[in-house]
Chain A
Amino acid sequence: MRSVMSGDDMTRALRRIAHEVIEKNRGVGGLVVVGIRTRGGPLADRLADLLTEIEGVEVPSGIIDIGMYRDDIDTRPRIELGPTELPGDIDGRTVVIVDDVLYTGRTIRAALDALADIGRAAIVQLAVVVDRGHRELPIRADFVGKNLPTSSQEHVTVRVAEVDGEDGVWIEGSDRGSEQ
């Protein structure tokens, strides 16, 4: 496994993303940050905290589970469902979805469907730590920590301290260095 982002790199990237969110939305009015379970959750919390710190206005965060919305149930193993907890209504608000890796785009599509069943957001934007390409749907991220061209043989791992004990992004695959 080869490191492509250190813990510090991730922290800086999130801070930059926070500033980009504020710039694009001209502040944080009506904003709510929603992470996609599992790792998107703590990342959303961190992003919300950064926005709160920078603007001095409380920005709420929440988490959604997309287990009920996947389109690949016949081909991939099922994972246990987790809670979906949002800080109040999303009707009329700007929702910034946060996830660790953007790849085919199917996870984001499922998240959009889940949000649509919960309420009617005015605007939905997407922030990801890593965009590794290979989109299968017309979905793009508004805010990206790092663009990482990959082959589909390779495997990208994002770790967040709250879940994995450390922060960082690694890549592993046949032609990029040896295991661990």
Chain B
Amino acid sequence: MSEFTFQNAHLVSGTGDVSVATDVVVADVVVADVVVADGVVTEIGQGLDVRGDTIDCSGKWLGPGFVDVHTHLREPGQEWKEDITTGSRAAAAGGYTAVVAMPNTEPAIDAGHLARFVADRGRQVGLVDVIPAGCLSEGRKGQKLAHLDELCDAGVRLFTDDGDTVADAGLLRRAMEYLAERGRVVVQHCVDAGLAAGGQMHEGEVSSRLGMAGVPAEAEEIVISRDLALVRLTGVRYHVQHVSTAGAVALIAAAKAEGLPVTAEVTPHHLYFDHSYVEDTNPRYKMMPPLRDAADVASLREGLRSGVIDMVATDHAPHADHEKDHAWEEAPFGVIGLEWAAAVVNTVMDLPAAEFFKVMSTAPAELAGIDDQGTLAVGSPANLVVFDPGGTADTGRAVSRSSNSPYLGLELSGRVLHTMYRGVFTVRDGVVAEPAGVAG
């Protein structure tokens, strides 16, 4: 029987309910105590009697554990970069209690049994909820539909060929119609292959000076425009991954104004860095879509603040040292970010606590269809994080198996102190737990 009392935290429930009640839901934000027993939140209130261990949370935020709708765990098939164990630890270190695993593994998650494998492994590790996403097309090849029904039955809600863009509008339309009928979400990695061919970074002033082929903003905007027309046609719920351009933000705003069922995410690195960082030609700034110009970054920050962009998603993409220790053009695209996402968002956006948890926890949980995450109330499973917005993040080393991070050595304000998953600490005082009964 483990009981814990979190005391004097700035509590965010994520429910947005303004009524003040001490035993059901609590208004955002209030200073309160939270009691957890046997994996469940049992009490919320002020000046509660202490049960079990006490954790002093004065001046710290306590809210629903973060949820990442865009993580690459690399298992099955690429375990030298990361696996579900090390990825879960990295997620916990970053305050996450749930992640959606992208399906571009080897093999790709295009059939039910593969989705079940990923979910089972996640349960076995037991540090975060690992929810598999499924492919839209078989093998992500963009030619035939993946086993959509099997995947739905295996619990998959988000469908994407992430890493690739579904180019065939006819195939995409059929996938959308099918998934609309089953109430699922079509998620798109928006990069037009023709315009982006050979592109190494954002096409602009910096790429021209560096002599590298660039990916113009239009490569993203063209795909979004086309997809929105199909959303209008099919009515499917649609989610734009890693928005990176001002033009994309405008398209999404217009789509929402029209009432289309569209949501969007932005990565921490796109909020923080612009293409001037690429002058260094260090591959830790190389990802797709690339870092864009200052005007794009400003528009992304404004978009997140205004709600046009609904949530933060990391696109955590591990690559081993021997893969990134190359010259820029021979290095793979992708950077890791689970461990520092909260600190980056806190540093760059300076959001109030309620908005912070909305974009880090509540909105992503809703998209991913995870009922027991993203909000805290009496009776919820105890999936929570204690975050110190005034602390300093540890950017000295990575918990992930890989270390391809643009944040190493950076000064970031905001620190995850404790992460609790179903009532068990996965991070306590900054120390990440080992998975129960699983070696290494």
Direct contact of A and B (CB under 8 A): no
Write the residues of chain A forming the contact surface with B, with a CB cutoff of 8 angstroms: none
